[in-house]
């Protein structure tokens, strides 16, 4: 409950990032401007603006600008939670993404691009689609009709509609356990994780939706099936774009969707790497707590991803809006933002060098308490022997 | 006796069954569960549960 003397204006003054949230769009519009300039003046490297910004500019800005670990007081959070300003920033993303998609598809379909130009356009749009999944994530946790639908619409261009179902009902209950396809295990390299999570998440989504429909007395092939609804939107959208711009846009649409999905999965890889909830005597896992997610407080990536990196609080309060997510001192912290971490994830030896020692430290040297890749268990235990005298896990 | 469902992950609490493992006896009404109790699967707070339709 909010205290009566706290006005919206007063509460807003506490959010240091308040005027920065729309900067996420600033970056997207910058990518758009770069693509148009690159296409119009035939400057090929500009067409790679998406990956250059995500993999280069954002990590560099994180390094230069640093962190913000402050939390507004609890009574302010309650008021900010209801401030519509923050909601509108997520709604606005939806039309921006669709304009971007249609213009980019139009350029690819109606011009004779060189392979490099095509690759630039495809990877840049893929980055946008990946960031769109993050917006869908923010929207998909809110239980209003409008936001649930916007979440599904935003997932259409990236053909990842099942994320909406799987993330809430699968990932949130199985997070940081070996059963969760979206929680990476220590010793599991990103490329291996990518296949496991893509296949596993789709399978899990089908299972969740089948169970839900069965309870309502419906079969899987029913128009109320949320997975089929979402996938049908993708089919309709891609068909519309093919009819408008020619069948040659199809590889572009498919590859950009794959790039977008793999960007999301790279972020998933960072969020819970090696972290494990203990199994209790009754066969249930312990509750998800702050120490089961990797966090980061670098400002630029947090703006870009709607505070996704305050991930422990997100798992503790999944319906809480992004502006109210808090930093926890006890949560494990990544050395840099997710944008920089995914670049490391793509290069497994580098990732292991940076992250494995952090998992080891997190469990006070006893990695038997970590979520280990079964095939690497022996090797990891030889490399990081548990302290003698420690109780067996 | 009612059932309550976590809106985040779908976990169900059945008042008739309670959760003896958690120290919540069978027949415990939703309003008698402590406010700081959280969803045993996903950790969402009690506020994020809603009453399920009776079918």
- The interface pTM score, or ipTM, of the predicted complex is 0.89
- Give yes or no for a contact between A122 and A259, defined as CB atoms under 8 angstroms apart: yes
Return the closest-CA partner of residue A178 out of A359, A371, A379.
Answer: A371
Contacts of A172 in chain B (CB under 8 A): 8-9, 41-42, 44
Closest-CA distance, A124 to chain B, in angstroms, reads 32
Contacts of B8 in chain A (CB under 8 A): 141, 168, 172, 318-319
Query: Beta partners for B38?
Result: B45
State mean pLDDT over A15-40.
89
Closest-CA residue of B relative to A166 is B9
pLDDT of residue A143: 84
- Give yes or no for a contact between A270 and A333, defined as CB atoms under 8 angstroms apart: no
In whole angstroms, give the CA distance from residue A315 to residue A171.
10
Instruction: Assess if residue A252 is contained within a domain.
Output: yes
Q: What is the residue range of A74's domain? A: 4-273+286-362
pLDDT tens by residue, A232-283: 999 999 999 999 999 999 999 999 999 999 999 999 999 999 999 999 988 8
Select from A284, A289, A318 the Cβ nearest to the Cβ of B44.
Answer: A318
CA A312 distance to own-chain centroid: 14
Contacts of A317 in chain B (CB under 8 A): 44-45, 48
Instruction: Assess if residue A376 is contained within a domain.
Output: no
Contacts of A288 in chain B (CB under 8 A): 42-43
Say if residue A328's pLDDT is above 80: yes
Structure tokens at B2: 């009612």
Mutation to test the A interface, candidates B3, B6, B7, B9, most A Cβ within 10 Å: B9
Band of pLDDT at residue A393, cut at 50, 70 and 90: very low
The count of domains in chain A is: 1
Instruction: Assess if residue A385 is contained within a domain.
Output: no
In whole angstroms, give the CA distance from residue A258 to residue A300.
25
Closest-CA distance, A362 to chain B, in angstroms, reads 21
- Please work out, in degrees rounded to the nearest 5, the angle formed at the alpha carbon of residue A93 by the alpha carbons of A89 and A96: 135
- Tell me what the pLDDT averaged over chain A comes to: 94
Output the CA torsion sign for A8, A9, A14, A16. positive
Closest-CA distance, B38 to chain A, in angstroms, reads 8
Whether residue A287 and residue B43 make contact (CB cut-off 8 A), yes or no, is: yes
Whether residue B9 and residue A173 make contact (CB cut-off 8 A), yes or no, is: yes
pLDDT of residue A390: 60
pLDDT of residue B54: 56
Say if residue A303's pLDDT is above 80: yes
State mean pLDDT over B32-37.
94
Instruction: Assess if residue A306 is contained within a domain.
Output: yes
Say if residue A295's pLDDT is above 90: yes
Closest-CA residue of B relative to A285 is B41
Residues 131-170 of A with CB under 8 A from B: 141, 143, 168-169
Burial class from Cβ neighbours inside 10 Å (0-12, 13-18, 19+) for residue B16 reads exposed
Instruction: Assess if residue A387 is contained within a domain.
Output: no
Instruction: Assess if residue A380 is contained within a domain.
Output: no
Return the closest-CA partner of residue A332 out of A366, A302, A360, A369.
Answer: A360
Contacts of B40 in chain A (CB under 8 A): 284, 287
Closest-CA distance, B44 to chain A, in angstroms, reads 5
Q: What single string gives the DSSP state of each residue in A184-227?
A: PPBT--HHHHHHHHHHHHHHHHHHHHHHHHHHTT--SSSTT-HH
Contacts of B10 in chain A (CB under 8 A): 168-169, 173, 208, 212
In whole angstroms, give the CA distance from residue A136 to residue A133.
5
Whether residue A173 and residue B42 make contact (CB cut-off 8 A), yes or no, is: yes
Closest-CA distance, B34 to chain A, in angstroms, reads 16
Band of pLDDT at residue A392, cut at 50, 70 and 90: low
Helix, strand, coil percentages in chain A from 3-state DSSP, rounded to 5: 65, 0, 35
Closest-CA distance, B35 to chain A, in angstroms, reads 14
Residues 159-218 of A with CB under 8 A from B: 168-169, 172-175, 208, 212
pLDDT tens by residue, A352-372: 999 999 999 999 999 999 999
Instruction: Assess if residue A194 is contained within a domain.
Output: yes
Sheet holding B12-14, edge to edge: B12-14, B3-6, B49-51
pLDDT tens by residue, A181-232: 999 999 999 999 999 999 999 999 999 999 999 988 999 999 999 999 999 9
Output the CA torsion sign for A240, A241, A243, A248. negative
Mutation to test the A interface, candidates B19, B42, B45, most A Cβ within 10 Å: B42
pLDDT tens by residue, A133-168: 999 999 999 989 999 999 999 999 999 999 999 999
pLDDT of residue A347: 98
pLDDT of residue A4: 56
State mean pLDDT over A69-98.
91
For chain B, counts of helices (H) and of strands (E): 0, 3
Stated pTM of the model: 0.93
Instruction: Assess if residue A259 is contained within a domain.
Output: yes
Say if residue B34's pLDDT is above 70: yes
């Amino acid at each position: 409950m909010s205290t009566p003397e706290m006005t919206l204006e007063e509460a807003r003054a506490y959010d240091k990032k308040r005027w920065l949230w729309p900067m996420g769009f600033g970056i997207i519009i910058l990518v758009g401007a770069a693509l148009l300039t690159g296409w119009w003046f035939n400057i090929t490297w500009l067409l790679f603006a998406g990956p250059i910004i995500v993999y280069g500019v954002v990590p560099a800005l994180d390094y230069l600008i640093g962190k913000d670990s402050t939390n507004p007081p609890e009574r302010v959070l309650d008021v900010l939670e209801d401030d519509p300003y923050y909601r509108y920033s997520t709604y606005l993303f939806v039309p921006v993404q669709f304009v971007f998609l249609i213009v980019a598809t139009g350029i690819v379909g109606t011009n004779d691009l060189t392979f490099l130009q095509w690759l630039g356009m495809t990877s840049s749009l893929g980055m946008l689609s990946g960031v769109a999944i993050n917006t869908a994530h923010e929207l998909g946790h809110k239980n209003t009709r409008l936001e649930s639908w916007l979440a599904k619409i935003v997932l259409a261009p990236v053909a990842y509609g099942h994320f909406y179902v799987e993330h809430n009902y699968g990932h949130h209950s199985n997070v940081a356990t070996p059963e969760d396809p979206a929680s990476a295990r220590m010793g599991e390299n990103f490329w291996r994780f990518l296949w496991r999570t893509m296949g596993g998440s789709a399978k899990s989504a089908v299972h969740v939706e089948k169970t839900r429909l069965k309870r309502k007395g419906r079969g899987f092939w029913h128009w109320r099936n949320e997975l089929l609804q979402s996938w049908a939107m993708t089919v309709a959208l891609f068909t519309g774009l093919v009819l408008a711009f020619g069948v040659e846009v199809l590889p572009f649409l498919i590859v950009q969707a794959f790039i977008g999905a793999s960007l999301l999965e790279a972020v998933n890889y960072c969020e819970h790497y090696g972290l494990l909830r203990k199994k209790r005597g009754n066969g249930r896992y312990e509750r998800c707590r702050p120490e089961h997610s990797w966090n980061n407080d670098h400002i630029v990536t947090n703006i870009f991803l709607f505070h996704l990196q305050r991930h422990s609080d997100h798992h503790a309060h999944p319906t809480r809006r992004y502006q109210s997510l808090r930093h926890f001192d006890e949560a494990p912290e990544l050395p840099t933002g997710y944008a920089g971490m995914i670049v490391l994830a793509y290069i497994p030896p580098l990732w292991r060098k940076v992250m494995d020692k952090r998992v080891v430290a997190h469990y006070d040297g006893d990695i038997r308490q970590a979520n280990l890749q079964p095939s690497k268990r022996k090797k990891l235990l030889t490399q990081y022997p548990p302290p003698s005298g420690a109780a067996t896990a | 006796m009612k059932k309550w469902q976590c809106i985040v992950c779908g976990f169900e609490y059945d008042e008739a069954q309670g959760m003896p493992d958690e120290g919540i006896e069978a027949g415990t009404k939703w309003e008698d569960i402590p406010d700081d109790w959280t969803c045993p699967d996903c950790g969402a707070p009690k506020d994020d549960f809603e009453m399920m339709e009776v079918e």
